[in-house]
Amino acid sequence: MMSLSAIWQSPELSPKRHTTRETTPTVPVSAMINDMLPVEVFDDIFNFVRVEDERAHTDKQTIFACSRVSKPWCSLTLRHRFYSVSLFARTEHPHEQWILKRCFLQDFVRSPVFLVVKTYIQRLTVRWGITHIHPYIGADLPQHLLFFPALRSLKLRGLLGKRIPAPPPSMPIILDSLSVEGWVCHGRPHDSRVLCDLLRCFRSVGKLHLEDIKEWLPVSDYSTPQDIHPRVSSLVFRDSTCPRAICDALQAAVARERPLRQLDMRALSFANASDGIELMKAFAHTIEDLKCTMPSTNATASIYPVIPPFDFSTLRHLQSLTLAIELPLSRARRAHSLAGGEDLARASPLARAISSLDTLRTRARTGPLTLLDVQLVPNRQLTDKTQTGDALLDVLRRDDASVRAFEAEVLGLVNEGCVRLVRLGVYSAPPASGLGEGCRHACEEELVTMFPALRRLGIFIV
């Protein structure tokens, strides 16, 4: 039989425990945190979570998990959950019936939730067509863009094939970034006139990205309309070519004091690398930041002529120069290693890079370069990124004479006051990848050993 003291000490009958439950109510941890920290702290934390979700490509799983903690957190994470939105554009294709209606642009702007979140959407991605049958970027795009008052970045995935009517004269949209990706319709040519129509929809564009757009329809009777003068500050190519109509439109914009200040040609398609050189010459009086690639000979010689050295002497306002030097990785790399760097000598991209950098001496009277960023990149990627970076370092070690000549050239530019700071890096991906920081190969000690003179001078960073 249970004793009286044991019964009295049981949780159900203990006066002490009973009193504690009545006088100490349970408070949710999230509510206590909300009272302790200001809203601005939560905003910074959730913004950090959103950025990390984007880097990890987790499809916003972490930020949505935060929104389910409590009602206050659901409200605080709203602007971060809808900071970027990816949608389809309805094309009335039969296969579209298998996609949820809320995934279409036309349905999303009519939904009740859109009235709540439209002021939070700053980045919008729209894809036309779920197959390669009807991927044409829609002519109704300008009227839909007016529903997004806070839009700063726009990415369009589709085919530039149908003309877009002129937008209203009072269309006030200003974009930080406009990207057009053509990967959804490989092998189908784009119409440069549609790209000009698209630029008319915006008052200004900070960066214009053209990605995977290699073929353009031949347009001979097209003249740039008088009202197409987009203020494009930066033009970036990623495995794309440059249409003549866009070059003419940007030149007309320069004439109206809307200069192009940044040009990124590192991932320009080899098929039209000469067009990129002409584009650089066309905006020589306005470019302040130039990024270009010195391709390896064996990547282009069999189909296209060898790209000549660049002439930087006419770039009067140039402040930052990024030169990606593409080094060939031979498929029989081990067989050629005993011959003393035959692959590098056969391609000689370092020799042509030296000739290009030598033209900086001519423009020295206009002021020195603030930064010379040299990126050593492979012409192809191996199975593993680390293996690719190590193979690239092996190519440089086998041709020490070319490396010493390149170092002497850069050292001479610094001593003559043509360059203030030099940055050197090895990348494990070809230029078509875009050469982001994720492609950078960690080999700081090897670079310091390989370029000792620049390191002793104190202007060399890796």
Confidence of residue 203 (pLDDT cuts 50, 70, 90): confident
Please state the rounded mean pLDDT for residues 376-397. 86
Distance CA 183, CA 385 (A): 24
Q: Which residue, of 25, 60, 81, is where some domain finishes?
A: 81
pLDDT over 60 at 337, yes or no: no
- Do 101 and 207 belong to one domain? yes
For residue 457, the model assigns a pLDDT of: 74
User: 26-30, 194-198, 451-455 — which is least confidently predicted?
Assistant: 26-30
- Tens digit of pLDDT for each residue in 411-428? 999 988 899 999 998 998
Domain-embedded: residue 25: no
For residue 341, the model assigns a pLDDT of: 38
Closest CA to 162 of 131, 185, 130: 185
Domain-embedded: residue 248: yes
For residue 308, the model assigns a pLDDT of: 67
- Tens digit of pLDDT for each residue in 67-101? 888 888 888 899 999 999 988 877 666 665 656 55
| Helix (H) or strand (E) segment spanning residue 104 | none
- Do 316 and 377 belong to one domain? yes
- Do 40 and 88 belong to one domain? no
For residue 406, the model assigns a pLDDT of: 92
Domain-embedded: residue 271: no
Closest CA to 129 of 99, 165, 85, 168: 99
Please state the rounded mean pLDDT for residues 174-181. 91
- Do 255 and 322 belong to one domain? no
Distance CA 448, CA 458 (A): 11
Closest CA to 263 of 250, 244, 245, 249: 250
pLDDT over 90 at 249, yes or no: no
For residue 33, the model assigns a pLDDT of: 67
How many domains does the chain divide into? 3
- Do 89 and 73 belong to one domain? no
Compute the CA torsion angle 210, 193, 288, 281 (nearest 10 deg). Answer: 110
Amino acid at 298: N
Q: How do strand 262-268 and strand 320-327 relate by DSSP bridges? A: unpaired
- Do 104 and 159 belong to one domain? yes
Please state the rounded mean pLDDT for residues 300-306. 45
User: 59-63, 147-151, 238-242 — which is least confidently predicted?
Assistant: 238-242
Q: Which alpha helices (H) appear in 283-336, and where do they start and end?
A: 333-336
For residue 335, the model assigns a pLDDT of: 32
Domain-embedded: residue 110: yes
3-state secondary structure of 282: helix
Domain-embedded: residue 272: no
Please state the rounded mean pLDDT for residues 272-292. 79
pLDDT over 70 at 347, yes or no: no
CB-based contacts of 279, cutoff 8 Å, min separation 6 = 235, 242, 247, 263, 265
- In 71-152 the beta strands, taken as DSSP E runs, fall at 84-89, 123-128
Structure token digits, residue 128: 């036309």
DSSP state of 424: E
396: buried, middle or exposed (CB in 10 Å: 19+, 13-18, 0-12)? buried
Are the CB atoms for 116 and 75 separated by under 8 Å? no
- Do 101 and 77 belong to one domain? no
User: 199-208, 309-318, 353-362, 433-442 — which is least confidently predicted?
Assistant: 433-442
Please state the rounded mean pLDDT for residues 220-246. 71
- Do 250 and 316 belong to one domain? no
252: buried, middle or exposed (CB in 10 Å: 19+, 13-18, 0-12)? middle
Please state the rounded mean pLDDT for residues 188-204. 83
Q: What is the rounded average pLDDT for all residues in the chain?
A: 77
Distance CA 192, CA 219 (A): 8
Are the CB atoms for 95 and 133 separated by under 8 Å? no
Compute how many other C-beta atoms are within 10 angstroms of the C-beta atom of residue 346. Answer: 14
pLDDT over 50 at 360, yes or no: yes
Map tokens 């020195």 to a residue: 368
Please state the rounded mean pLDDT for residues 223-248. 72
- Do 240 and 155 belong to one domain? yes
- Do 93 and 55 belong to one domain? no
Q: Which alpha helices (H) appear in 178-243, and where do they start and end?
A: 192-199
Boundaries of domain holding 61: 34-81
Distance CA 283, CA 267 (A): 18
Distance CA 223, CA 214 (A): 22
- Do 44 and 146 belong to one domain? no
- Do 106 and 145 belong to one domain? yes
Task: Tell me the CA distances in angstroms from 406 to 301, 303, 306, one per residue in order.
Answer: 23, 28, 20
Distance CA 133, CA 127 (A): 13
pLDDT over 50 at 19, yes or no: no
Closest CA to 452 of 407, 420, 415, 421: 407
Confidence of residue 303 (pLDDT cuts 50, 70, 90): very low
225 or 206, greater pLDDT: 206
Highest mean pLDDT among 11-20, 294-303, 329-338: 294-303
Q: Which residue, of 220, 241, 260, is where some domain finishes?
A: 260
Domain-embedded: residue 355: yes
For residue 197, the model assigns a pLDDT of: 83
Closest CA to 328 of 238, 386, 274, 399: 399
Q: Would the pTM of this model clear 0.85, i.e. be above it?
A: no
Structure token digits, residue 257: 């004091």
pLDDT over 80 at 32, yes or no: no
Distance CA 218, CA 191 (A): 8
- Tens digit of pLDDT for each residue in 104-149? 888 888 888 899 999 999 999 998 866 556 678 887 888 888 889 9
Highest mean pLDDT among 144-153, 231-240, 435-444: 144-153
